[in-house]
Structures are given as C-alpha cells and as structure tokens.
Amino acid sequence: DAGITQSPRHKVTETGTPVTLRCHQTENHRYMYWYRQDPGHGLRLIHYSYGVKDTDKGEVSDGYSVSRSKTEDFLLTLESATSSQTSVYFCAISESADYGYTFGSGTRLTVV
Amino acid sequence: SQQGEEDPQALSIQEGENATMNCSYKTSINNLQWYRQNSGRGLVHLILIRSNEREKHSGRLRVTLDTSKKSSSLLITASRAADTASYFCATIAGGTSYGKLTFGQGTILTVHP
C-alpha cells in the first residue's frame, strides 16, 4: 500500500522467543496504530501512537510493547511469543480522527 | 469489545444486483467509516460519514447514517465480481481527537459473474 510498509510479511517463530514487527510510513502522519485480525474477532487495537515517543494501550495490549523513536517508524514487539499471538498484524496511519486510515499489507505471524 | 456489528455476516448476489450491508454501534460517534478487504490483503478505506451527516455518495457507494438508531448502511449499486470482498464498518468515539477506530466483524460479500 502506498506510503506504508510492513516487515516482515510472514514470520514463523517459536514460543518464548522475542519478535519485532516494523511499520514504516512515508506520509508524515502523526498517528500510527497496530491491530491484530483474528477469525471471529475482527480487528482489535493493540497499541497506538499519537506522536514520537507518545504511545498508549489499545484493547488487547497484554504481551505487546511498542516504540516510536521517529515519525516514520512504529515497532511492535512481542517480548515472549505465545501461540495465542498467532495472527495477522496490521499497521495503519492517519492524519486525525477526521480522516480514514491507510493500512499496510499485514504481517502473518505464526507462533509454534 | 466490538463497537460496530455488521449484518448480514455473509451476502451472495449476482453481478449487476445491488448489495446492502448494515452496521449498528453502541456509543456516540465522531464519525463512521467503511472499509473493504480483499482476501489476504490490507483494508482499504471506502468512505467516511460524520455524525452530523445523514447520507454520502462516492461512485457506486451510498452510505447512510441514523444516529438516533445508532445504525448505518452501505449500498453498492450495480455490483461487479471485483466487489467480492469483506466489508467492515468502523467507528470513532465521540469526543476523540486522534481517532481510535473500533471495527465490527464484517460482512463477506460474494458477487457471482
């Protein structure tokens, strides 16, 4: 998707290992979000950022941490991956509440 | 918790027919948005309607909003096979300045050629 990229696109990791997903934007948007998408649950907000070094928890933040040291990058870290964190993770950006989000293509994470 | 709930969960129609999807939500909103997701892809923003608007059009899309009933509908006219996708409504709570979107679980639309 134009202006926002996620890496990696796919990852398989073992239970207990740390994992970091990266979201990079070129739109200079202030707000960035991490969601996970699971069957039967739709998309749920994990963490979001409203500026450099300004982050807050979403609906399902347990087991996740984030960091934003630059406007363009928003990192999601699973400190010790569990099987329940197997999911598709989406990053999104927005200018404000009055505009739609732009989503990345997603990262499919499998924890075995 | 899900703010928006879509109905129906799945919809199957023939090309050329209209498709209507409904969304209900629970709390006051700043705006309501509709997104499309093709299989295995990210979500694409379709249309945003503000809480003080009642109807909005974009190409073959028509969105209505009834804040008294806390509901919205998305109408796709003259559907095409390429419209086959999942459609999600999402809301931003009233009084929010930086827009945490809360999504429903979506409607799966299948358009048969």
Q: What is the pLDDT of residues B75-95, one digit of tens each?
A: 999 999 999 999 999 998 776
User: Measuring CA to CA, which residue among B111, B65, B63 is closest to residue B86?
Assistant: B111
Tell me, yes or no, if A31 comes closer than 8 A to chain B by beta carbon. Answer: yes
Nearest-by-Cβ selection for B98 from A31, A105, A106:
A31
Considering chain B, what percentage of its residues have pLDDT values greater than 90?
76
Distance CA A111, CA B13 (A): 37
Residue of B nearest to A30 (CA): B98
pLDDT at A2: 66
Question: How do strand B101-103 and strand B107-112 relate by DSSP bridges?
Answer: unpaired
The residue that leads in pLDDT, B44 or B3, is B44
pLDDT at B88: 95
Task: Considering only CA atoms, give the Rg of chain A.
Answer: 13
- A-B Cβ pairs (cutoff 8 Å, strict): 72
Distance CA B21, CA B111 (A): 14
* Average pLDDT of chain B to the nearest whole number: 92
pLDDT at B77: 98
Q: Is the pLDDT score of B18 beyond 70?
A: yes
Mean pLDDT across B21-28: 93
The residue that leads in pLDDT, B98 or A65, is A65
Tell me, yes or no, if A38 comes closer than 8 A to chain B by beta carbon. Answer: no
Tell me, yes or no, if A34 comes closer than 8 A to chain B by beta carbon. Answer: no
Per-residue confidence in pLDDT tens, chain A, 112 aa:
469 999 999 999 999 999 999 999 999 999 999 999 998 788 999 999 999 999 999 999 999 999 999 999 999 999 999 999 999 999 999 988 788 999 999 999 999 9
A96·B44 Cβ contact <8 A = no
Tell me, yes or no, if A43 comes closer than 8 A to chain B by beta carbon. Answer: yes
Question: How do strand B107-112 and strand B10-14 relate by DSSP bridges?
Answer: parallel
Q: How confident is the model at residue B1 (pLDDT cuts 50, 70, 90)?
A: very low
